[in-house]
Amino acid sequence: MTLIDAGPTGALRIAPSILAADFGALASAVHEIDVETDWLHVDVMDGHFVPNVSIGPPVVQSLRPYSGRFFDCHLMMSQPGRYLQAFKEAGADGCTVHVEVGDTATLIRDARALGLRVGLAANPDTPFEAVAPYLGEIDLLLLMTVFPGFGGQSFMGDVMNKVSEARREVDHNRLLVDIEVDGGIDTRTAPLAVHAGANVLVAGSAIFSRPAPLEAARALREAARSEL
Ligand code: DX5
Ligand code: ZN
């Protein structure tokens, strides 16, 4: 399987979340926004870690031939370790696991051993201290700006303090770690997140629920750039 490069760590990245796309026409939805897509964010929900069910490896595999972008898989799962290999084989480039599920060091090691880019996610009420010990071992820190489970929720501005804290720590220690935010990101909130120190912006509704997704993705990038 060819590896798709994530690009330079720390650079601004727009990561449309397919959760808000029409699952019956995923390939064309993804194709339509391709030129404004840096990473494609794939939200995986197991109905246990979060109260919703979405998609799994078969959808990643089906979508893979239709996109040359980095597949950023966000595993909202209680037992992500059971599925890392399946995601890798399906065509995932990176997998992000939640710190709340525990067994973090093992999950990071297993994901790394599979050749995945490794992400660690924290819910809005999980303190920075919970992820801080792993910063030297991961490629991506995902700080949720909504409680995971559903698209279309409101951005939680309070999380920006944690984003700033993470950015300070990453820069201070010269770590090669991307800081991603996910939930309620739109042209109003993207600049706030970038200002606080995020460089990967996930957006579902603000892109796919708009009448013109490509223009919406472009507008999001412009709004984010204004804070650089
Ligand atoms: C939330 C997911 C998000 C979500 C973002 O559980 O992890 O990726 O799809 O959706 P919006 O952008 O609509 O908040
Ligand atoms: Zn997500």
Q: Which residue out of 150, 189, 207 has the highest number of ligand 1 atoms within 8 Å of its CB and is therefore the one to mutate?
A: 150
What is the mean pLDDT of the segment spanning 24-31?
Answer: 98
Question: Per the domain annotation, does 130 fall within a domain?
Answer: yes
Position 2 scores a pLDDT of 64
Q: What H or E segment, with its residue span, contains residue 97? A: strand 94-98
Compute the chain's Rg from CA coordinates: 16
Distance CA 163, CA 144 (A): 10
What is the mean pLDDT of the segment spanning 117-130?
Answer: 98
* Mean pLDDT of all residues belonging to the chain: 98
Question: Per the domain annotation, does 1 fall within a domain?
Answer: no
Question: Per the domain annotation, does 51 fall within a domain?
Answer: yes
Using 50, 70 and 90 to split pLDDT, how confident is the model at 228? Answer: confident
Does ligand 1 have an atom closer than 6 angstroms to the CB of 17?
yes
Q: What is the pLDDT of residues 137-179, one digit of tens each?
A: 999 999 999 999 999 999 999 999 999 999 999 999 999 999 9
Number of domains in the chain: 1
Q: What is the pLDDT of residues 170-197, one digit of tens each?
A: 999 999 999 999 999 999 999 999 999 9
Question: Per the domain annotation, does 6 fall within a domain?
Answer: no
Residue 131 near residue 141, CB atoms below 8 Å: yes
pLDDT above 90 covers a percentage of the chain that reads 98
pLDDT above 70 covers a percentage of the chain that reads 99
Question: Per the domain annotation, does 200 fall within a domain?
Answer: yes
At 174, which CATH number? 3.20.20.70
Does ligand 1 have an atom closer than 6 angstroms to the CB of 43?
yes
Q: What is the pLDDT of residues 47-88, one digit of tens each?
A: 999 999 999 999 999 999 999 999 999 999 999 999 999 999
Q: What H or E segment, with its residue span, contains residue 43? A: strand 39-45
Question: Per the domain annotation, does 20 fall within a domain?
Answer: yes
Using 50, 70 and 90 to split pLDDT, how confident is the model at 3? Answer: confident
Residue 129 near residue 41, CB atoms below 8 Å: no
Distance CA 111, CA 92 (A): 11
- Give me the domain span that covers residue 20: 13-225
pLDDT at residue 1 tops 70? no
Position 189 scores a pLDDT of 98
Q: Which atom number of ligand 1 is nearest to the Cα of residue 209?
A: 13
Give the torsion through C-alpha atoms of 106, 112, 116, 118, to 10 deg.
60
Distance CA 79, CA 114 (A): 17
Question: Per the domain annotation, does 7 fall within a domain?
Answer: no
Which amino acid is it at 141?
Answer: L
Distance CA 93, CA 71 (A): 5
Token pair belonging to 102? 């525990």
Distance CA 68, CA 154 (A): 30
